């Protein structure tokens, strides 16, 4: 099977999962961390696709837990903006996933990473 690459964009406070945690993912994970998920731009998401990701997870802290109050809400909107652009250029918008996650809880974070990998796998099998 061809190597599958996914992107994970999140803030330092959302999760600090490392190489060890991603070992169970049978593909490549491009991990980008930001001081706050509100700092993630549409361009960052698109660039991750340029780098070869088949799907990208944008993860932010739960709505009322954002260190900067509204960062993760902004991140959710950026994910929607990236989806819109993907659609315009003929890619499936569902390649961009967004999740509000409990801070520093690796379990739910890895669940979303796995779902993103499944999305990537589906997309790859379609293409």
Partner 1 sequence: MIIAERRPIPKVLKAIEPYEKILVLGCRGCVAVCSAGGDREVETMAAALRLARKLSGRPLETGEATFIRQCDPEYLAPLKEMVRDYEAVVSMACGVGVNLIADLFPEIRVYPGVDTTFYGANPALGEWQEKCRGCGDCILDVTGGLCPIARCAKNLLNGPCGGSQGGRCEIRREVPCVWHQIYERLSARGELDRLMNFFPAKDWRPAGHGGPRERIREDLKMG
- Residue 104 touches partner 1, criterion: CB under 8 A: no
Work out how close the CB of 19 gets to partner 1 at its nearest, in angstroms, rounded to a whole number: 27
Which one of 6-14, 32-40, 80-88, 108-116 is the stretch in contact with partner 1 (CB under 8 A)? 80-88
Q: What are phi and psi of 51, to 5 degrees?
A: -75, -5
Evaluate whether 8 touches 53 at the Cβ level (below 8 Å). no
Given 49, 98, 109, 117, the residue binding partner 1 (CB under 8 A): 49
Evaluate whether 119 touches 92 at the Cβ level (below 8 Å). no
Alpha-carbon dihedral of residues 93, 77, 62, 110, nearest 10 degrees?
A: 30
Given 30, 46, 73, 121, the residue binding partner 1 (CB under 8 A): 46
- Residue 43 touches partner 1, criterion: CB under 8 A: yes
E strands, 12-87, where?
Answer: 28-34, 55-61
List interacting residues with partner 1 (CB under 8 A). 41-43, 46-47, 49-50, 81, 85, 88-91
């Amino acid at each position: 099977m061809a190597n599958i690459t996914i992107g994970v964009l999140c803030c330092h406070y959302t999760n600090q999962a490392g190489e060890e945690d991603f070992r169970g993912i049978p593909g490549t994970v491009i991990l980008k961390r930001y001081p706050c998920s509100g700092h993630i731009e549409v361009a960052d998401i698109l660039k991750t696709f340029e780098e070869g990701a088949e799907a990208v997870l944008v993860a932010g802290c739960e709505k009322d837990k954002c260190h900067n109050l509204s960062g993760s809400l902004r991140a959710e909107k950026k994910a929607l903006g990236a989806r819109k652009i993907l659609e315009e250029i003929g890619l499936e918008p569902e390649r961009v996933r967004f999740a509000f996650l409990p801070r520093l809880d690796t379990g739910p974070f890895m669940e979303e990473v796995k779902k993103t990998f499944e999305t990537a796998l589906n997309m790859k099998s379609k293409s």
